[in-house]
């Protein structure tokens, strides 16, 4: 398992635990043994993603609600909610991470931890969000029309869900 995958898995588990317990992220991070036993880079990535997603919870939840039409966020499985929060945060706040990587990682985690329908649901919602968020970012990065173009300049606690057994 790669370091970045492990970092996302730990971030998901932290978000899942905050959702389940209602505890603040700093309390969950402080008592999460898997984080202390993880590779240093994976642990730092996990904490960065989980704290970021938790800090921006209001925004990420609004994004999820807009993309998950006809679904109430409060009625979703905690696993799905935690994965959607992780994916939505990364899509919105980590433009350097390729969309495909974010979606693939969240879908794989949904297959490992969620219900039989979780991976398809997570895929659908995050794909919708990616098209909304990343399309607008690409549009803002398009060069100006030729008439307006300027000369180019060189720029330098609670139970954590266990993986489902495959088989």
Tens of pLDDT, residues 74-129 = 899 999 999 999 999 999 999 999 999 999 999 999 999 999 999 999 999 999 99
Residue 10 reports pLDDT greater than 90: yes
pLDDT score of 159: 55
Helix or strand holding residue 146 (H, E): none
Portion of the chain with pLDDT greater than 70, in percent: 81
Averaged pLDDT of the chain = 85
- How many whole angstroms separate alpha carbon 153 and alpha carbon 136? 24
Non-local (6+) Cβ contacts of 132 within 8 A are: 63, 66, 67
pLDDT score of 153: 38
Tens of pLDDT, residues 124-149 = 999 999 999 987 555 444 444 444 44
Q: Both tokens of residue 6? A: 């492990």
Residues 4-10 have a mean pLDDT of: 95
pLDDT score of 24: 93
- How many whole angstroms separate alpha carbon 157 and alpha carbon 74? 21
**Structural domains in the chain plus CATH codes:** 3-135 (1.10.940.10)
pLDDT score of 99: 95
Residues 13-33 have a mean pLDDT of: 92
- The half-sphere exposure of 23 on its side-chain side, counting CA atoms within 13 A, is 17
**Residue 72: helix, strand or coil by DSSP?**
coil
């Amino acid at each position: 398992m790669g370091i970045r995958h492990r970092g996302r898995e730990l971030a998901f588990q932290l978000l899942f635990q905050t959702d389940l317990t209602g505890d603040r992220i700093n309390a969950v991070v402080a008592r999460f043994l898997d984080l202390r036993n993880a590779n240093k880079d994976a642990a730092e990535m996990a904490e960065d993603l989980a704290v970021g997603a938790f800090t921006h919870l209001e925004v990420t939840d609004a994004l999820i609600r807009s993309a998950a039409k006809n679904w109430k966020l409060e009625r979703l499985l905690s696993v799905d909610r935690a994965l959607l929060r992780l994916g939505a945060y990364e899509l919105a706040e980590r433009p350097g991470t390729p969309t495909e990587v974010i979606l693939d990682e969240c879908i794989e985690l949904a297959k490992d931890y969620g219900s039989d329908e979780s991976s398809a649901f997570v895929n659908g919602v995050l794909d919708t969000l990616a098209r909304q968020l990343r399309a607008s970012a690409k549009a803002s990065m398009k060069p100006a029309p030729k008439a307006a173009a300027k000369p180019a300049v060189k720029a330098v606690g609670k139970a954590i869900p266990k993986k489902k057994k495959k088989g």
